Chains A and B, each alone.
Chain A
Amino acid sequence: MWTDIIMVLLTLTNMVALGTSRIRACIRIVAFQGVSLGLLPLLTHPFAPDLLIFAILNTLLKGVVFPVILVRTLRQLNVWKEEDPYVDYGLSLLAGPFVLALSWWISSRLPLPAAISSSMLIPVALFTLFVGFFLIVSRKKALFQVLGYLVLENGIYAFGVAVAFQQPLLIELGILLDVFVGVFVMGIAMFHISRQFDHIDTDRLSSLRS
């Protein structure tokens, strides 16, 4: 029951992320996604101490640390909105339900072996994954692409939780550390981009060809 609620929330946040042009709002949305996903393993798995540690770390990182880093970068860059993405916001929103339907269709055809705690887990995980990809390729601002990467990561994480697969804690922490350092390094890179170019539009990063 709680899992289903989280899945519905995830779907809604994905739709908002598709439709918003304000970067700060999108950071909040992605952080919210991170927190709800961080709590998910506590609901789907039997309780264990290392699970709790991991859930706390995960929630802290995705819910607090990432938004703080990203909002700080946002302030330094002084870019708050993306005016014209490759794919218009209306069109992005319209694409959302189609992608959602596609995800349901794909997951209905996947021969899943293990029992899954909620039938919504796989389709929503796939949906999140696709939305992440979509954000990366359809937005020009570097910050949006980083957010897209995080949504993609969330989708993969949800998928991992969904198939009730427990990696050893060390690996989970390693993945978390990688994502953390990744966001950190990308934040620094964006800062340099804005200083060098006076913008963070990646479509204008085009001096290197063939």
Chain B
Amino acid sequence: MILLLILIPFAAGLASLLIRQDLWRRRLLIAAALCHAGLVAACWIRTAQPLWSGWFQIDPTAQFFLTITDILFVAAAFYAAGYLKAEKYAMSKDFEEHQLFVNAPEAVFTACLLLFLSTMTMVITSQHFGMLWVAMEATTLVSAPLIYFHRHHRSLEAAWKYLLICSVGIAISLLGNFFLAISASGSGVGVVSLMRQDLIAHSSQLLDSWVKAAFIFFIVGYGTKMGLAPMHTWLPDAHSESPSLVSALLSGALLNCAFVGILRAFEVTSAAGLQEFARDLMILFGLVSIAFAALFIIGQADYKRMLAYSSVEHMGILALGIGLGGAAVFGSMFHAMNHSLTKAALFMVAGNILAAYKTKTANDVQGMFSAIPKSAVLWTMGILAITGFPPFGVFMSEFTILKAAIDSGRYYISAIFLLLLAVIFIGISAMAFKMAQGRPEKPLEVAPERALSVWPPALLLAGVLVLGLYVPSKLSDVMHTVAVFFGGGR
């Protein structure tokens, strides 16, 4: 089963390089996404067998994050079908500098999307730290071409930064792997493999100082990829310059993968009796990320960059939740799901806005309600959701984390958290609602909104709304189980 999960998108990716008709290639993309999602759904009914004596395994963590990834990927695949059709004409005008540019070949784009899914599945399911590293670096390499879909110099610059910064970051976490290995080999029990289960089983014999060093390297290395400040510098560029559906996947799925990497390291560090140390670091990086995001969201002119910084914020919230422990860990898991769905929907809507207005500057976008009414409704809903308005799921999860912080008596942290959330709320809403209201400055020639560019974000947002009102007991059970792994309680 796990093998199929990895191989189906991989094979489909290779096949899409060979298919010549665009229509069939798009169908293949959707079919592969649906197959993958179907298999993951099957994991909810019966547990999958571990692969290769447990190297890959669908534990509750993997099951939870795979589900998020797949919901997003299916939505993105449908969106992509419409998007690629609209982007088909050979040359487009660069709306910022009015040069002509072409797009990357569609076959390569589709292939990279599918390989991206395959490598993300590997990251999430792998139980071996070495394998996790290999898969994580692979996600960087297959997603860099996705960012450079529009062949103009800004997207190239973004792709280069992404490639170099993330590769170096991930190289740092390879050192983390070695440190972990040293800590395991030092105590005289012989060589412990880097399997998660082995490390946890032998956790009492791990050498403290090396585990500490390893965790620092993991949080810096994988944190680069997750977009934790101050290692987030690649993120706003990559998210704003890539096609919107890629931004949706980067933000909603890829950042979560890096989060899984940190979580696995957190689990081992906690098992070795260093939970306090690890938690403090998570709180630190979490708050710094939220603060950085607040700083850059205020006065941001570009609405896609605003969404990107909001991702930095929410990654910070995830880290903070893990750091606070207790009920906040559950909140953090819940938040991961809410954020992914909301942010992916928002990026897709941002793509619709971009297609209609041909600008990324928020000030030049006005009167969405009259020009693109469906997207305008979705945009307003999405902004309300992401800034933590009830009754959306994001509100529930942020509230859970905040409540846990107050309950555990950490008033300073709660106050800072709340203040930063308020600042971000003001920053985002000041920009975003103005875009929806008013009248377009000049009459726009807008094509009618396609079903494929409206329905995927609409369904994602509907999901966030439902999660805010009612969490299925099976989902909440899984989230609780996962939370217990990472030091959570009820």
Q: Mostly helix, strand, loop or mixed at chain A's interface? A: helix
Contact B128 A171 (CB under 8 A): yes
Q: Is the CB of B160 within 8 A of A159?
A: no
Q: Is the CB of A171 within 8 A of B182?
A: no
Known contacts A156-B171, A175-B133, A178-B141; A210/B296 CB under 8 A: yes
Least Cβ distance of A161 to chain B in Å? 10
**A165 lies within 8 A of B130 (CB):** no
Q: CB-CB < 8 A to A205: which residues of B?
A: 157, 160-161
Q: Does A39 belong to the interface (CB within 8 Å)? A: no
Contacts of B305 in A (CB 8 A): 210
Q: A136's closest neighbor in chain B, by CB?
A: B168
Say yes or no for B174: interface residue by CB 8 A criterion. yes
Is A78 interfacial (CB-CB < 8 Å)? Answer: no
Contact yes or no, B186 A114, CB < 8 A: yes
Report the Cα distance A166→B174, complex, angstroms.
Answer: 14
Question: Counting CB contacts under 8 A, is A90 at the interface?
Answer: no
Do the beta carbons of B163 and A193 come within 8 Å of each other? Answer: no
If over half of B's interface residues share one DSSP class (helix, strand or loop), that class is named, otherwise mixed; here it is helix
Q: Shortest beta-carbon distance, B242 to chain A, in Å?
A: 12
**A111-B209, A114-B182 known; A186-B134 Cβ under 8 A:** no
Which size bracket describes the interface of B in this complex?
35 or more
0/1 string, B104-125, CB within 8 A of A gives 1: 0000000000000000000000
Contact of A171 among B134, B145, B191 (CB under 8 A): B134
**Residue interface bits B447-490, CB-to-A below 8 A is 1, else 0:** 00000000000000000000000000000000000000000000
Interfacial residues of chain B within 57-84, with CB under 8 A of chain A in the complex: none
Is there an interface contact between A163 and B131, defined as CB atoms closer than 8 Å? no
Q: How far is the CB of B36 from chain A (nearest CB, A)?
A: 22
Q: How far is the CB of A7 from chain B (nearest CB, A)?
A: 18
A196 to B99, CA, bound (A): 12
State whether A181 and B141 are in contact (beta carbons under 8 Å apart), knowing that A192-B148, A205-B160 are contacts in the complex.
yes
Q: How far is the CB of A103 from chain B (nearest CB, A)?
A: 14
Closest to A111 in B: B209
Nearest neighbor of A133 in chain B, beta-carbon distance: B168
Instruction: Tell me the residues in window 100-135 of chain A with beta carbons closer than 8 Å to chain B beta carbons.
Output: 111-114, 129, 133
Known: A163-B182, A189-B160. A178 touches B144 (CB 8 A): no
Q: Which residues of B contact A196 (CB under 8 A)?
A: 152-153, 156
Tell me the minimal C-beta distance from A2 to chain B in angstroms: 23
Across-interface contacts of B154 in A (CB, < 8 A): 207-208
The stretch from A14-22, A43-51, A145-153 touching chain B is A145-153
Tell whether, in the assembled complex, residue A207 and residue B185 are in contact, meaning their CB atoms are under 8 Å apart. Answer: no
Instruction: Report the bound CA distance from A201 to B159 in whole Å.
Output: 15
The answer to whether the Cβ of A76 comes within 8 Å of any Cβ in the partner chain is: no
CB distance from B381 to the nearest CB of A (A): 28
Say whether A174 contacts B131, CB under 8 Å.
yes
Whether B182 contacts A189 by the Cβ 8 Å rule is no
Residues of A within 8 A of B313 (CB): none
User: 26 A-B residue contacts at CB 8 Å?
Assistant: A111-B207, A114-B186, A129-B175, A136-B168, A142-B160, A149-B167, A153-B171, A159-B175, A163-B181, A167-B181, A170-B131, A171-B130, A171-B134, A174-B134, A177-B134, A178-B134, A178-B138, A178-B141, A182-B137, A189-B160, A189-B163, A193-B160, A196-B156, A205-B161, A207-B153, A208-B237
